[in-house]
Amino acid sequence: MLTIDFNRIQVNPGDTLLDLGCGEGRHTIGAYLSFPGAHIVGVDLSLKDLTTANQRLQEWQTDDVLAQGAQAQFICGDGFNLPFADHSFDHIICSEVLEHIPNYQSFFAELHRLLKPGGNLCLSVPRAWPERICWKLSDAYHEVEGGHVHIFKPADIHNLVTQFPYCARGQHGAHALHAPYWWLRCLFWREGEQLWPVRLYHKFLVWDLMQRPWLTRTLDKLLNPVMGKSVVFYYEKQQS
């Protein structure tokens, strides 16, 4: 399930792409499959998530995919101090990460250091009003270790990014049908994700992801501008 729309960025053979806070590798692997000849690096602090990401990557490395010439690797690293030179990457993805970072301004400064002038920056964060409902329904949702510590409005992200020389290239909502799942999950947090309303809605989301029926895809598209669980931002880095 990709949050970033890869159709909005042009990644050429030989380009470098960083997926910062890659988790279990969904965008890293998605980029590996989508951009022949690119060099893709996923970075995360969690060794457990990176182990899962490597396993998933190996499952996709068929002869046909390998023939496309893309390269992907996963690295365990601290997003505040990454082992890359200035301007190492043509494109950077940072999806559903900033809301977890107390000092997100310093985190973003490191991200900015790594992106080449003219490069694409793709960010996503949870939409503010669905996120506030989650916080009201469950303290544990955002108080667990590694939970969400910020709620961002679009203006907050724009102000963060444009203190540096960036040009906005667009934004959109994503995963509207997932917002009710998280409201259910928070409402029944103590009972757990196996409680029948949560379990059934999760099965519906998996069915929708695999089958992609016209009705739910249309509904998701119509609802994304107002209740997409995530908001995605696209910027281009300008010359300093």
Model pLDDT for residues 169-197, shown as the tens digit of each residue: 999 999 999 999 999 999 999 999 999 99
Q: Rg of the Cα trace of the chain?
A: 18
Residue 126 contacts residue 150 (beta carbons within 8 Å): no
Burial of 63 (0-12, 13-18, 19+ CB in 10 A): exposed
Global pTM value: 0.95
Q: Amino acid identity of 197?
A: P
pLDDT of residue 185: 96
pLDDT of residue 217: 95
DSSP symbol at 204? H
Query: Who has greater pLDDT, 239 or 160?
Result: 160
Q: In what order do the strands lie in the sheet with 39-44?
A: 71-76, 39-44, 16-20, 89-95, 115-126, 230-237, 166-174
Tokens matching residue 101 = 């970072």
Burial of 195 (0-12, 13-18, 19+ CB in 10 A): middle
Question: Cα-flanking dihedrals φ and ψ of residue 103, to 5°?
Answer: -100, 65
pLDDT of residue 150: 96
Residue 62 contacts residue 28 (beta carbons within 8 Å): no
What does the pLDDT look like over 54-103, one tens digit per residue?
999 999 999 899 989 999 999 999 999 999 999 999 999 999 999 999 99
